[in-house]
Amino acid sequence: MTKPTSLTQQPAWQALERHYDQLKDKQLRELFADDAGRGEKLTAEGAGLFLDYSKNRVTDETLRLLLQLAEQTGVAAKRDAMFAGEKINVTEGRAVLHTALRVPKGGTVMVDGVNVVPEVHAVLDKMAAFADQVRAGTWLGYTGKPIKNIVNIGIGGSDLGPVMAYEGLKFYSQRNLTVRFVSNVDGTDLVEKTHGFDPAETLFIVSSKTFTTQETMANATSARAWLLGTLKDDSAVARHFVAVSTNAEAVSKFGIDTTNMFGFWDWVGGRYSMDSAIGLSLMIAVGPAHFQELLAGFHEMDEHFRTAPADKNLPMLLALLGVWYDDFFDAQTVAILPYDQYLSHFSAYLQQLDMESNGKHVTLEGDLVDYQTGPVIWGQPGTNGQHAFYQLIHQGTKLIPCDFIGFIQTLNPLTPHHDLLMANVFAQTEALAFGKTRQEVEADGVEAEQVAHRVFEGNRPTNTILADKLTPRILGSLIALYEHKVFVQGAIWNINSFDQWGVELGKVLASKIVPELQAGAEPDLQHDSSTNALIRRYRAGRRAE
Ligand SMILES: O=P(O)(O)OC[C@H]1O[C@](O)(CO)[C@@H](O)[C@@H]1O
């Protein structure tokens, strides 16, 4: 295999380094003063989303060079390879085809010579039939009572997507059903999430791609014990447990009838799986029609990403701006700031999507990278964050590029809340970009020794993403926007965005330590002195309980 030119040797990268030296001290104030039309020019639209990226520290030249970098690193060809089902997840020898999950009926996506779209829709139809039964109260529990409570048991991609979208689309959900999500192996999670539930009215959805994940299996086993503690008959499991997995054998071994299993495929990565059967809990909550709308939004963004010219392509632009700060300004983090309470879990969802995908230190060829890869993703919904961490973004010493996400219409029109909320979006991005100069502070008549504290340097970059209203379709398109942003960045950095070996070592060590915590006699501990001492201290504490 011939190695591609190393990223830092690409002409566009080197030109960007030189360009950075010229631009790094340039103020957004100047950039806006130089071009009265900047705020309208540096925008793009697609799949129901409007992006204003004018408040970024870029000029036409920066954008030209970033687009050149995308070209020189072959982003378009890599994107086409993903959509075509090539095995771009090279360390696991798999295709990466979450985009096939939202191809409309009648479409074609070939994997190993088979069109997978009919299979995708067969599973969606099976999910819809089941969801309709649960919603109508005709899926009866073991004692003949209809199901009122749904508990999704899963972790990582088998939890974060469904919980984020369930919260995101709560407005559209059937309110007589209570839906909860158990993920943590901490028993508190299961105990608290089943608190107050009648087992005879409770359905567990065990969601796990592999059906071997320690946390999920422990929670599912304890949930079954909780159920049988009341219902006292193993055959009750069939009415109260369904599974979502790619591993039919393990599902059956756990005791769930595979007719109650909803499948998906190894070409769907965990963090890209919320629009597969992993979204079953969401579909039950919001109904199959809204779920279809969500898929349509994903697909619309897929098509935009596949076909829009690079300089108008939302995922491409977001990704390139991210690379600009990450690799040239050395920004370590990105804040995701949705101004919508329904998106309270959106940043947590993006943490896995982005950090598990692009938290990599070697290239596709296995060489150590000599540039920064994925940033730390974090955030909170506005306006809460403003009263917590925005101080540091405005006046701290770190550069934190932010994505502000807002909606023109609210789902809950309670005068004057929405105008207050959105005024804060516009005010924050304005304040971050333009700050407040010493002269302006002095003009306010502030005492001389107080002036420095009240100066805002500004020049803090932001993107603003606006959509008309938070609908299932818009949510789908927003998620796909970030999926593809992560893809483009991974393509530029020449890393594999689709494996996650970094989570393995901890898993292996934990399974080794579990028996050491549980052994009756003092085990022969072979760890380092810190780990040995911590284990001994824990064991001593447990004996004293
Ligand atoms: O769906 P599973 O197989 O239980 O895996 C859960 C999660 O564990 C991981 O493999 C590692 O954290 C994620 O990629 C995945 O989403």
* Per-residue pLDDT reduced to its tens digit, 219-275: 999 999 999 999 999 999 999 999 999 999 999 999 999 999 999 999 999 999 999
Residue 387 annotated to the active site: yes
Specify the number of domains making up the chain.
3
- Considering the domain architecture, whether residues 381 and 335 belong to the same structural domain is answered as yes
Q: Where are the alpha helices (DSSP H) in 24-147?
A: 28-34, 38-41, 60-72, 75-83, 117-136
The reported pLDDT for the residue numbered 2 is 73
Query: How far is the C-alpha of 197 from the C-alpha of 188, rounded, in Å?
Result: 15
- Considering the domain architecture, whether residues 225 and 359 belong to the same structural domain is answered as no
- Domain membership flag for residue 502: no
Query: How far is the C-alpha of 394 from the C-alpha of 458, rounded, in Å?
Result: 7
Mark which of 469, 493, 517 sits at the end of a domain. Answer: 493
Do the Cβ atoms of 482 and 69 come closer than 8 Å?
A: no
Cα 156 to middle of ligand 1, angstroms: 5
The reported pLDDT for the residue numbered 363 is 98
- Considering the domain architecture, whether residues 42 and 151 belong to the same structural domain is answered as no
The reported pLDDT for the residue numbered 373 is 98
Q: Which helix (H) or strand (E) holds 219?
A: helix 214-231
SS (H, E, C) 330-396: CCCEEEEEECCHHHCCHHHHHHHHHHHHHCCCECCCCCECCCCCCCEEECCCCCHHHHCCHHHHHHC
Whole-structure pTM value: 0.97
- Domain membership flag for residue 49: yes
Cα 541 to middle of ligand 1, angstroms: 32
Give long-range contacts, CB 8 A cutoff, 24+ apart: 343-347: 343/164, 343/167, 343/168, 343/381, 343/405, 343/470, 344/167, 344/381, 345/160, 345/163, 345/164, 345/167, 345/168, 346/164, 346/168, 346/379, 346/381, 346/405, 347/377, 347/378, 347/379, 347/380
**Model confidence over 65-82: pLDDT tens digits?**
999 999 999 999 999 999
- Domain membership flag for residue 1: no
- Considering the domain architecture, whether residues 324 and 244 belong to the same structural domain is answered as no
Q: Of 3, 24, 41, 507, which one is the catalytic site residue?
A: 507
Query: How far is the C-alpha of 336 from the C-alpha of 164, rounded, in Å?
Result: 14
The reported pLDDT for the residue numbered 143 is 98
- Considering the domain architecture, whether residues 391 and 484 belong to the same structural domain is answered as yes
- 14: helix, strand or coil: helix
Do the Cβ atoms of 378 and 333 come closer than 8 Å?
A: yes
- Considering the domain architecture, whether residues 484 and 538 belong to the same structural domain is answered as no
Query: How far is the C-alpha of 105 from the C-alpha of 279, rounded, in Å?
Result: 18
Do the Cβ atoms of 388 and 380 come closer than 8 Å?
A: yes
What backbone torsions phi and psi does residue 111 show, to the nearest 5 degrees?
A: -125, 125
Full domain range(s) for residue 521: 508-544
Q: Of 293, 356, 483, 516, which one is the catalytic site residue?
A: 356
The reported pLDDT for the residue numbered 519 is 84
Mark which of 229, 261, 291 sits at the end of a domain. Answer: 291
| CA dihedral (352, 353, 359, 362) positive or negative | positive
Pairing status of strand 333-338 against strand 376-378? parallel
- Domain membership flag for residue 31: no
Residue 356 annotated to the active site: yes
Nearest to 393 by CA among 323, 458, 318: 458
Cα 214 to middle of ligand 1, angstroms: 10
Nearest to 291 by CA among 407, 158, 130, 155: 130
N- to C-terminal Cα separation, the chain:
60
- Domain membership flag for residue 56: yes
Do the Cβ atoms of 357 and 490 come closer than 8 Å?
A: yes
| CA of 155, closest atom in ligand 1 | 6
Where do we find the tokens 């209203």?
Answer: 469
Q: Alpha carbon 293 to chain centroid distance?
A: 19
Residue 507 annotated to the active site: yes
The reported pLDDT for the residue numbered 137 is 98
| CA of 215, closest atom in ligand 1 | 4
Identify the CATH number of the domain in which residue 191 sits: 3.40.50.10490
- Considering the domain architecture, whether residues 285 and 335 belong to the same structural domain is answered as no
Q: Extract the residue ranges of the chain whose pLDDT is less than 70.
A: 1
